Amino acid sequence: MLLIHERNGRYTCQRGLLAVFVYVFVSTRVLNYLKFRLHIFHVKQFFHGYFRIHILFTSLLGLLLLSGCNLNSRMSTFKARGPVAEAQLDLFYITLWVVVGLFIAVGGVLLIAVIKFREKKGDTSPLPSHGHGNPLVEIGLIGGSVLLLVVIAVPTLRAIWFTHDLPIQPESELKAWYPGDDVAEGEESNILTVNVIGYQWWWAFEYPQLGITTANELIIPAGKAVKLNLRSVDVIHSFWLPQIAGKVDLIPGRANYMWIQAGDTFEKWAEKNVPEGSEAGQKLAYENYLEDEIHDYYYGQCAEFCGESHARMLFRASVVGDDEFGAWVSDIKTGNQAPEGMSWKDWYANYDKSPEVLTGDVHEGLKLFMGRAKCATCHAVNGNPRALGVAGPNLTHLARRYSLAAGWLNHRTEDGAVDIEQQYKNFVKWIDKTEEVKPGNLMWKANGGGIGELIDAEGELSLLTEEEVHKISIYLQTLK
Ligand code: HEC
Ligand SMILES: [Cu+2]
């Protein structure tokens, strides 16, 4: 049970299998040791009993741990929610069935041979004759394997091409669905592009056609193809959003790309569902399909070991409707206001000349954010003209996000709201115990610039106090 509370089911599964493996390995070793070192292998009775318990225990352990393998989780590749993941899942099944067929054929022959030709009590007949060199069998086996390889190769190549080439889909072009009028010139006939940039241990998502940047929570429109340019600023990372698409690496100095799509286009959906009724009725049914099955919250993860906190380099994706997407873009552009409805100009006039008039947790939190705590040297908040840092995630509308620290701390309720109390706790935890939450991360220690290295006027280490952490967290909660 210890293992089964993990964040997204995947670890539980892997660790479960690992645990069974380790148990079997270690116990066989121990058994061998006892047998040969202590010369007690003649005590047949003992081992007979032991083996029974051994097998029983292994199976029970295996079953218990496998029950943690949730094929229905937000990270399950068996619950494909878009054409790319579907193509990959289909390929998996084709390969699986071919291999299962092979297993049954080979295993069956072996089983028959073992049973039919085994030595019976009092059997004195000579060994059965060997039959190798039979041309029919030899050619048949070669031909059979070639055929099976072709059966696997054809769909594999087709899937590789399908997932590699950007799809030609007029309904995915920005001009066909994007509700705003702020698309960069010449981009209207292209599909939405997101630059995914891997950092140790978080993700930046830039939308160059729309002029915005966000971090760790990707927002994409339902039913539209999206191009992802995959870049890394440090080491190799790998973008993996299991329900939407398989992994592609982000390699320094190499321009990889992929396309993803959450949900089918109308045409594809209609093909699968053979809809009846008027066109308007069909469109409505299609909208419902997007709403019910595709608008959702998806889990992703870096899938290439990239250093100390690799295992905590997750990300999330929200798939939303076209209008919601448009509204989100314009909100990110507008950015966040200064506290209590002040203009940034007024706020900074006070901050520069008489900061003591800015009182209360929110103002004081912001003063710390801009000043002593140095948050703004690494973080940008759109709207705030002096928060322009780029070494860390962009924090615009941070309080609307459902997670923190690249998906590691979660504050989303089951029904899709932000859990305000949990969010506060997560902010405090992250600022106060950054290093514990994500070992080695570059916010805590960054060549003297991190918040684990703050110094006072005398040059002595002077970490943020509990009171200061509280104020900053209260301020962060206003970034709605
Ligand atoms: C030296 C640069 C640096 C400083 C200074 C810094 N941060 Fe960070 N911050 C980062 C980096 C890098 C990350 C990503 C860490 C990770 O997930 O591995 C981060 C992550 C975050 C996140 C999580 C964002 C997300 O999208 O999940 C928050 C919130 C945050 N920082 C707030 C602050 C606050 C508040 C301060 C000031 C007290 C601060 N940071 C100071 C670099 C910095
Ligand atoms: Cu990584």
Q: What is the pLDDT of residues 271-297, one digit of tens each?
A: 888 767 788 888 899 999 999 999 999
Nearest CA to ligand 1 atom 36: 375
pLDDT of residue 3: 37
The answer to whether residue 146 scores a pLDDT higher than 70 is yes
Residue 371 token pair: 């000043």
Question: How many CA atoms lie less than 13 Å away from 168 in the CB half-sphere?
Answer: 0
Q: How confident is the model at residue 159 (pLDDT cuts 50, 70, 90)?
A: very high
Position 362 scores a pLDDT of: 96
Counting Cα atoms < 13 Å in the Cβ hemisphere of 102 gives: 15
CB under 5 Å of ion ligand 2: residues = 237, 302, 306, 313
CA-CA distance, 93 to 431, in Å (whole number)?
A: 45
* Distance of alpha carbon 348 from the chain centroid: 40
Mean pLDDT of 154-176: 95
Report residue 41: phi and psi, to 5°: -70, -10
pLDDT at 225: 96
Measured by CA distance, the residue closest to atom 37 of ligand 1 is: 375
Lowest-pLDDT choice from 34-38, 107-111, 258-262: 34-38
pLDDT band, residue 259 (cuts 50/70/90): very high
Contact residues of ligand 1, CB 6 A cut-off: 201-202, 215-216, 309, 369, 373-375, 377-379, 391-393, 395, 398, 404-406, 430-431, 438, 441-443, 446, 449-451, 472
Q: How far apart are CA 245 and CA 261, in angstroms?
A: 8
Question: Residue 468: which of 441, 435, 428 has the closest Cα?
Answer: 428
User: Of all atoms in ligand 1, which is nearest to the CA of residue 309?
Assistant: 18
Question: Residues 47-55: what's their mean pLDDT?
Answer: 70
Task: For residues 357-380, give the mean pLDDT.
Answer: 95
Tell me, what's the pLDDT at 428?
Answer: 97
Lookup: tokens for 159 = 């899937």
pLDDT of residue 46: 60
SS3 315: strand
Bridge partners, residue 250, by sequence? 237
Ligand nearest to the CA of 235: 2
167's enclosing H/E stretch is none
> What is the percentage of the chain residues whose pLDDT exceeds 90?
72
**How far does residue 391's CA lie from ligand 1's centre (Å)?**
9
For residue 70, pLDDT over 80 is answered with no
- Check pLDDT > 90 for residue 1: no
CA distance 209 to 221: 15
The pLDDT of 121-149, averaged and rounded, is: 84
DSSP string, 3-38: GGG-TTSHHHHHHHHHHHHHHHHHHHHHHHHHHHHS
- The ligand placed nearest to the CA atom of residue 250 is 2
The strand pairing partners of 445, in sequence order, are none
Average pLDDT of the residues of the chain: 89
27-36, 110-119, 215-224, 415-424: range with lowest mean pLDDT: 27-36
Q: Any alpha helices (H) in 359-419, and if so which ranges?
A: 361-370
| pTM metric for this prediction | 0.86
**Complete edge-to-edge strand list for the sheet that includes strand 225-232:** 212-215, 202-207, 192-199, 225-232, 256-261
Task: Answer whether 46's CB lies under 8 Å from 224's CB.
Answer: no
- What is the separation of C-alpha 122 from the centre of its chain, rounded to a whole number of angstroms? 62
pLDDT digits (tens, 9 = 90+) for 202-220: 999 999 999 999 999 999 9
**Residues 232, 313: contact at Cβ < 8 Å?**
no
Instruction: Classify 154 as helix, strand or coil.
Output: helix
Q: CA–CA separation, 10 vs 148, rounded Å?
A: 31
Q: Per DSSP, what are the bridge partners of residue 202?
A: 199
From 362, 379, 430, the mutation candidate for ligand 1 (largest count of ligand atoms within 8 A of CB) is 379
What is the tens place of the pLDDT at every residue in 396-413? 999 999 999 999 999 999
Which among 243, 242, 260 is positioned nearest to 196, based on CA atoms? 260
CATH class of 335-476: mainly alpha
Q: How confident is the model at residue 52 (pLDDT cuts 50, 70, 90)?
A: confident
3-state secondary structure (DSSP) of residue 192 = strand
First to last CA, the chain: 37
pLDDT of residue 64: 75
